[in-house]
Structure 1
Amino acid sequence: MMNIVSNNGFNKKNLITFSQKVGYKLPEDYIEFLQKHNGGYIKNSYSTYYHCGKHKFILTSMFGLGTKDDLLNQFEIYKNRIPNTCIPIGRDAGGNLVCLNLSKEKYGYVYFWDHEEENKYEKGKIAITDLYLIAESFNEFLNSIAEDSTTKLELDGYEVKKVWIDPDFLKELKDKSNK
């Protein structure tokens, strides 16, 4: 179960504006989530995606409308970097994205976008088949989120050898810290 600190201020006009901007109707289960939480900060939670087996990722935020992690701003930042049938709806601890597919085929499916694989594709040429499946609906995705009970003892012996930060994400962090 997801442990979320919800954003305030859901506004139906923002939802209509966003839907018009992306050119797709959003799935009802996702709209219900926005109405209830309007995105938010996720605490101690993870989900999984599938690529040559099952992989965990730590979910840190879900984007909202008219919020600090605004859905429309995130869409504008990533629209040429993710499939054009998807919208970014959340982020993991490593700056990767959770994406919602809005095309007729696999409508409402939720995928994982790994920024480290972005350089494999020409700008604007990434396809839905290049992402990793998380769930076949937004509600299924929500139900897949579990509490992260990893303890410090389980992490002993691991060390960070290399860190890469997405330049757009770094700019966003710097902009927020200067406010």
Structure 2
Amino acid sequence: MTMLEIVESGRKLSVDDLARVEQSIGRPLPEQYGAFLLAHNGGRPRPNLIDIHGADFKGTDISVFHGIDDSTESCDLLWNLEVLEGCKDNKLLPIACDSGGNIFMLDLSKEHHGEVLYFDSAEVPPRPYFLAKDFNGFLAQIRDWTPEELADIQASLEATAD
């Protein structure tokens, strides 16, 4: 098993930064996710593949974890919360995206607080796929690409280049 590394993290956060986010969203952040933000404040995971069980495709990459006050708007946690329709009303926090723009969400409802979901935007309305009961369980599922998966991607790229 490869150790998860986060590269290109944002600025160092304080507990006050987390409190500001919690005030903005009107709910407490799950403890595990808050600890992740304090340690990394977003960034790109290495490795970056996660399986999406129940989907028509096997898995996807995690392109970037959203951070607080990220200089790239589309990588900013609160910016994503504002622009993604239905997040606030459904008590969902967009925490990451894949390279296709699909979103990983943290459920902030009382019933499912801390669960991680994946939303495939190719489906209308986007369908949620359950990934983990908590943030650390989600992180534990991130894995390396197999040689077979890399070969399939290369073959697809070559086929579209022709």
TM-score by length of 1: 0.74
Percent of pairs identical after alignment?
30
Q: Which amino acid aligns with 2:153?
A: L
Q: Which amino acid aligns with 2:137?
A: E
Bigger relative contact order, structure 1 or 2, given CA contacts below 8 A and separation 6+? 1
Matched, 1:9 2:22: no
Q: Which amino acid aligns with 2:138?
A: F
Alpha-carbon distance in structure 1 between the residues aligned to 2:117 and 2:89: 11
Alpha-carbon distance in structure 1 between the residues aligned to 2:87 and 2:25: 15
Q: 2:28 aligns with which of 2, 25, 28?
A: 25
**What secondary structure is seen at the aligned counterpart in 2 of 1:21?**
helix
Alpha-carbon distance in structure 1 between the residues aligned to 2:121 and 2:47: 22
Alpha-carbon distance in structure 2 between the residues aligned to 1:82 and 1:95: 19
Alpha-carbon distance in structure 1 between the residues aligned to 2:110 and 2:143: 29
2:143 paired residue number: 146
Query: 1:63-78 counterparts in 2 under 5 A?
Result: 63-68=66-71, 69-78=75-84
Q: Which amino acid aligns with 1:37?
A: H
2:101 paired residue number: 95
Deviation larger for 94-103 or 149-158? 149-158
* CA shift for structure 1 position 38: 0.7
* CA shift for structure 1 position 58: 0.6
> CA 1:44 to 1:149, structure 2 compared with 1: closer, same or farther past 3 Å?
farther
* CA shift for structure 1 position 78: 1.0
Count of equivalent residues? 152
Q: 1:106 aligns with which of 84, 104, 112?
A: 112
> CA 1:152 to 1:138, structure 2 compared with 1: closer, same or farther past 3 Å?
closer
**What secondary structure is seen at the aligned counterpart in 1 of 2:23?**
helix
* CA shift for structure 1 position 144: 0.5
1:75-124: CA deviations, max 9, x gaps? 1111436862110000111110110001011211100011112xx34xxx
2:44 paired residue number: 41
Q: Which runs of 5+ in 2 are unaligned?
A: none
Q: Which amino acid aligns with 1:2?
A: L
CA contact (8 A) 1:101 1:110 kept: yes
Alpha-carbon distance in structure 2 between the residues aligned to 1:74 and 1:138: 18
2:156 paired residue number: 158
Deviation larger for 11-20 or 50-59? 50-59
2:63 paired residue number: 60
1:167 paired residue number: none
CA contact (8 A) 1:11 1:65 kept: no
Q: Which amino acid aligns with 1:71?
A: L
> CA 1:66 to 1:107, structure 2 compared with 1: closer, same or farther past 3 Å?
same
**What secondary structure is seen at the aligned counterpart in 1 of 2:110?**
coil
Q: 2:134 aligns with which of 130, 133, 137?
A: 137
